[in-house]
């Protein structure tokens, strides 16, 4: 009897109630410990990528920030400049003009490709048959090096290039000109190259998104008497909201960070009509010996790109 009375409290409600109290005092229960182990395991999987990203992106960017506070020609010891390089970037007309040109390219790199990509994706989606050939042909600019793209289009825009030959063939020879050397048309000519490059990416994104839209939505729209245009705005466009967000983010970054096509086709000319920050950073650092100013411009450009991308993501997330 005595032994029985001594064992009874072990399974009593009071003893059971103390179990969770000890777990709370420990600060975590079994589920929390499981989440902790899962987070540590996920971090281990991400560690190699994070190490590479830190070594080749974060560390060089921090070094660029450091150099932006110095007057340095790349050879002799640098001299502390404080915020003078940033003051130059924010007040010099040439540097500000390059930033304006980069934002102007957003119309060519973002607005035109997304608009054309949406229309083409909707048209191809309504057509019957395989779309592999159309996707392959239009996506080719994405896999061709941009330097090669610039070389090809520089030849096409030449005085005896394909563009002028086509204009002559259709009776518009009076429009022929040296497109990349024309102060009025060089910017547009280079911008259209960016539109051509980005179109394939936008088209593939939108076609993939259309395949995920429930076909019953299209059937319901047709039963309601919707035509192709109404079907596009009522079903296709809302269903591609996330793909449009990705396309805007990628193309805006490409527009603001443009360098290859501009450098190969015009080098920033004629005059400063097509000069963008990427080209100007190259000139300042490797031609003029103004490494500090070039680094300050690079920091300002990267900050602007980050702010624009954050704004785009915020707007698309709120509307989702």
pLDDT at 26 over 60: no
Quick one: average pLDDT of 24-35? 52
In this structure, of 138-142, 267-271, 297-301, the range with the lowest mean pLDDT score is 138-142
Q: Specify the pLDDT at position 34.
A: 54
145: helix, strand or coil:
coil
71: helix, strand or coil:
strand
Q: Specify the pLDDT at position 319.
A: 54
CATH 3.30.1330.10 applies to domain 84-319: no
Tokens of 247: 């396309």
Quick one: average pLDDT of 112-135? 79
pLDDT at 22 over 80: no
Residue range(s) occupied by CATH 1.10.3720.10 in the chain: 84-319
Quick one: average pLDDT of 123-147? 75
Q: Specify the pLDDT at position 275.
A: 95
Quick one: average pLDDT of 116-134? 76
Q: Specify the pLDDT at position 255.
A: 94
In angstroms, the CA 163 to CA 153 distance is: 9
pLDDT tens digit sequence for 250-280? 999 999 999 999 999 999 999 999 999 999 9
Quick one: average pLDDT of 182-201? 94
State the CB neighbour count (10 A cutoff) for residue 68.
23
Portion of the chain with pLDDT greater than 90, in percent: 56
pLDDT tens digit sequence for 86-104? 999 999 999 999 999 999 9
Question: 80 - beta bridge partners?
Answer: 70
In this structure, of 19-28, 42-51, 54-63, 304-313, the range with the lowest mean pLDDT score is 19-28
Quick one: average pLDDT of 58-86? 93
User: Residues 180, 154: contact at Cβ < 8 Å?
Assistant: yes
pLDDT tens digit sequence for 279-290? 999 999 999 999
Q: Specify the pLDDT at position 124.
A: 82
Cα angle for residues 139, 141, 145 (degrees, 5° grid): 135
Q: Specify the pLDDT at position 224.
A: 86
For residue 1, what pLDDT band results from cuts at 50, 70 and 90? Answer: very low
For residue 28, what pLDDT band results from cuts at 50, 70 and 90? Answer: low
Quick one: average pLDDT of 116-127? 85
User: Residues 261, 149: contact at Cβ < 8 Å?
Assistant: yes
Which has the closest alpha carbon to 114: 209, 190, 234?
209
Q: What is the mean pLDDT of the chain?
A: 85
Half-sphere exposure of 31 (CA within 13 A, CB side): 1
In angstroms, the CA 87 to CA 296 distance is: 9
User: Residues 90, 178: contact at Cβ < 8 Å?
Assistant: no
């Amino acid at each position: 009897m005595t032994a029985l009375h001594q064992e009874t409290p072990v399974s009593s409600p009071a003893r059971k109630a103390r179990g969770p109290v000890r777990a709370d005092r420990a600060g975590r229960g079994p589920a929390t410990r499981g989440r902790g182990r899962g987070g540590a395991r996920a971090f281990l999987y991400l560690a190699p990528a994070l190490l590479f990203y830190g070594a080749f992106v974060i560390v060089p960017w921090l070094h660029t920030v450091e150099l932006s506070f110095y007057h340095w020609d790349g050879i002799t010891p640098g001299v502390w400049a404080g915020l003078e390089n940033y003051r130059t970037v924010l007040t010099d007309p040439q540097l500000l003009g390059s930033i304006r040109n980069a934002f102007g390219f957003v119309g060519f790199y973002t607005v035109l490709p997304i608009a054309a990509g949406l229309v083409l994706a909707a048209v191809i989606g309504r057509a019957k048959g395989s779309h592999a050939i159309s996707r392959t042909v239009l996506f080719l600019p994405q896999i061709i090096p941009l330097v090669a793209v610039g070389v090809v289009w520089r030849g096409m825009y030449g005085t005896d290039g394909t563009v002028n030959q086509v204009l002559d063939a259709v009776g518009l020879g009076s429009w022929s000109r040296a497109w990349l050397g024309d102060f009025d048309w060089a910017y547009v000519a280079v911008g259209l190259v960016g539109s051509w490059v980005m179109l394939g990416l936008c088209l593939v994104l939108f076609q993939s998104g259309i395949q995920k839209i429930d076909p019953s939505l299209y059937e319901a729209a047709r039963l309601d008497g919707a035509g192709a245009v109404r079907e596009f705005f009522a079903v296709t466009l809302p269903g591609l909201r996330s793909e449009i967000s990705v396309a805007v983010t990628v193309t805006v970054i490409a527009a603001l960070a443009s360098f290859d096509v501009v450098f190969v086709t015009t080098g920033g000319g004629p005059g400063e009509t097509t000069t963008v920050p990427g080209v100007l950073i190259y000139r300042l650092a490797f031609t003029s010996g103004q490494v500090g100013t070039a680094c300050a411009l690079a920091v300002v450009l990267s900050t602007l790109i980050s702010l624009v991308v954050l704004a785009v993501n915020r707007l698309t997330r709120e509307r989702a």
